[in-house]
Structure formats: structure tokens, C-alpha cells
Amino acid sequence: MKRKRVLVTGGAGFIGSHLCERLLEKGNDVVCMDNLFTGQKDNIRHLMDNPYFEFIRHDILEDVYVECDEIYNLACPASPIHYQYDPIKTGKTSVIGALHTLGLAKRCHARILQASTSEVYGNPQVHPQPESYCGSVNPIGVRSCYDEGKRMAETLFFDYHRQHGVDIKVIRIFNTYGPRMRSDDGRVVSNFIVQALKGDDITIYGDGKQTRSFCYVDDLIDGMIRMMESREGFTGPVNLGNPVECTMLSLAETVIRLTGSMSKIVHFPLPQDDPVQRKPVIDLAQKELDWEPVTALNDGLQKTINYFRSALF
Ligand code: NAD
Ligand code: UDP
């Protein structure tokens, strides 16, 4: 069997490093491309000795020339503090990154998957969110660089598909967590676990009644690969996420219980445009990909807590 050569942009990040690992296990030749803005060499150090793994330090804003059969486009900072650090660059990364990877897919006749996001639904007025919902996004707020950048990337994917016949796959990822999240990236799962393990206050923004639906990273990777391998002509967009919804207050209480921490809950102001609720409809993923998450929140959190415990201490 010929090994497929697979390019993963953003491959040294949290999700990307798990994806590279799984693709190697499945017998692919993997090229990981990353500018290491939020990604880290430590995430892929264990893959470096594998002869079928290559790391290229490269910014996706520069054109990309890598012969490949498949492309997973993940390059883009994902946590609010990182994507708001240089919002102009975040927008460029989504839009120019999409143009460069789509151009490459066109030249190589490669199949290409875009890691889009539930943020395309903005602060959703329809709950839960099916793929047919067009979203409610503020185009001028602090989250817009990310939300609108990802929306424009989806537009480019569908225009390359219609205009040039590029074989595209678009997934909308809902909040994903697991080992290799950065302890300093400000996302809620890593913040709460690190705070609980250190005995610091648990910082809830707003009243904590806002909801998210958290998917364990192994489940997400399974869905991503199923989408890449899905039938010809199925473009998505398809939601990938865990439909079990929880409030930030209940997440904090669960983390405190699982860590046995003495930390107290404190409240801070809610950031601008913070979505009130979020939960995926995953009927399409179930039907087309025969996929649904299998990891319960308690189990996934326990694995993530174990990771942070050994990473921190
Ligand atoms: P991450 O920040 O860990 O990974 C992003 C990777 O992209 C990093 O390794 C970073 O260094 C790299 N990168 C950023 N800008 C780049 C550039 N200009 N050129 C090359 N590389 C660049 O975040 P993640 O959580 O692993 O997210 C991966 C992808 O999944 C992102 O596209 C994100 O938008 C999407 N996503 C993630 C979630 C989630 O819950 N984690 C939810 C929705 C969508
Ligand atoms: N959040 C919180 N405390 C934190 C970090 C985040 O209460 O220390 C909240 C945040 O306001 C949001 C939710 O948790 O309502 C999820 O935030 P995250 O940044 O993880 O993801 P996103 O908002 O992009 O879904």
C-alpha cells in the first residue's frame, strides 16, 4: 500500500499534534507545518525520530509548496487571548492561509479539510446549532478577527470547490479539550484545572450560567479523519462536537470535585461578545460519518487533569 503524504498546517498545536500522531499510526507520511506561535516543539518531540514525520517551521502567510495527497488546515491561534493578541494577523492567517492551502490543493489535486469552528455561529439565536444555521456574528467586535476570518475561509473553500472543483471538506469544531492544551492559553478547561491544581481561585467570567459543550480531543480526531475519508462529494460543513451541554459553574464544580481542590470560585466580568450558549446538532456527522463522541466529560477531564498534574509538578 502506498503511503499517503499528508500535510497538517498548525500541526505543532494542541489538536494538530494529536492529529499528526494518529495519522502516523495509520501509516501515513506526515508533514507538519507550523510557525510555533501557539504551537510547541514539545508537542511533537516524540514524533521527531519517526522517519515518516517531518516538521517544517513555516508561516502560512508565505506561499506553500509541498507535494501532498491530503491537507488538514489547522493553522490559526484558537484561544481568545491568543487570537486577540494580534487580531490583524489572525484575520490574515485564516484568509491568506486558506488561499495558500487551497492553491496548493488545486495544484496537487489534493483533498483538503478546513478546521472551521462553532464561532461561525457567533452568539447563536438558534439553539442547539445545526449546520444550516447561518449564525449571528458581530463583524466589528474583539472576537470578529477570528469569527469572520473563519467564515471567510469557509467561503473561499466553497468557492474553490465550485469554481475549480477542489475536493473540500469543512468541519466546524466545538470546544475541544485534552492533554497538550497550554496551561497559559486562557481557555476555560485549562484555566480551571490549573487553578484547581495550584489551589488558586477558580475564575468564572460573568454569572457562570453561559453554556458550552466540551469534546475530548481523541473523539474529535476520530471525527476529523472520518471526515477526510468520507465519500466523494460530501463537503460538509459538518459539526464535530459533544452535544452534552454544561454551564461554566457546573464545569468549575466538577473540576474542583475531580481534583479534590480547596479552591474557591470567584467571578470576573464577562468578556465582550462572549456567546451565551453553544451546543452542536450532530445528526449530520452521525449519518454521514457514523461518528459520535464516546468520552464522557468526567473521564476526559480526569485524563486532562492527570496530564496537567505531571506537566505542572
Ligand atoms: P492551537 O493554538 O494549539 O493550534 C494552532 C496552531 O497553528 C499552533 O501550533 C500555531 O503555532 C499554528 N499557527 C498559528 N498561526 C500560524 C501561521 N500563521 N502559520 C503557521 N502556523 C500557525 O489551537 P488548537 O486548539 O489546536 O486549534 C487548531 C485549529 O482548530 C485552529 O484552526 C482552531 O481555529 C480550530 N478550532 C479549535 C477549537 C478548540 O476547541 N480547540 C475549536 C474550534 C476550532
Ligand atoms: N471562561 C471562564 N473563566 C475562565 C476562562 C473562560 O468563565 O477562566 C468562560 C468564557 O467567558 C466562556 C467560556 O468560559 O464563556 C468558554 O471560554 P473559552 O475561552 O474556553 O472558549 P470560547 O469562549 O471560545 O468558547
Ligand nearest, relative to CA of residue 96: 1
How far, in Å, is the centroid of ligand 2 from the Cα of 302?
19
Give pLDDT, residue 313.
83
Q: Round to whole Å and give the CA distance between 73 and 83.
A: 16
Q: Which atom of ligand 1 is nearest the CA belonging to 173?
A: 43
Q: Which of 244, 222, 253, 247 is nearest to 297 (CA)?
A: 244
For cell 492529529, the residue is 19
Average pLDDT over residues 16-22: 98
pTM of the model: 0.98
Ligand 1 pocket member 36 (CB < 6 A): yes
Q: Is the pLDDT of residue 180 over 80?
A: yes
Who's near 148: CB < 8 A, 6+ residues apart? 91, 137, 139
Residue that has been written with the C-alpha cell 488558586 in this structure: 200
Ligand 1 geometric centre to CA of 115 (Å) = 9
Does residue 87 carry a pLDDT above 80?
A: yes
125-160 pLDDT, tens digit each: 999 999 999 999 999 999 999 999 999 999 999 999
Task: Report which bound ligand comes closest to the CA of 55.
Answer: 1
C-alpha cell at 106: 488545486
Backbone angles phi, psi at 128, to 5 degrees: -70, 175
Average pLDDT over residues 252-266: 98
Domain ranges of the chain: 5-179+214-242+280-293
146 is catalytic: yes
pLDDT at residue 1 tops 90: no
pLDDT at 2: 85
CATH number belonging to domain 5-179+214-242+280-293 = 3.40.50.720
Distance 7 CA to ligand 2 centre (A): 30
- Average pLDDT over the chain, rounded to whole? 97
Q: How far is the CA of 9 from the centre of ligand 1 (A)?
A: 9
Q: Are 11 and 74 in contact (CB under 8 A)?
A: yes
Q: Which atom of ligand 2 is nearest to the CA of 271?
A: 11
Task: State residue 83's pLDDT score.
Answer: 96
Active-site residue, selected from the candidate residues 146, 160, 177, 216: 146
| pLDDT computed for residue 53 by the predictor | 98
CB 281 within 8 A of CB 170: no
Q: Is 76 in the pocket of ligand 1 (CB under 6 A)?
A: yes
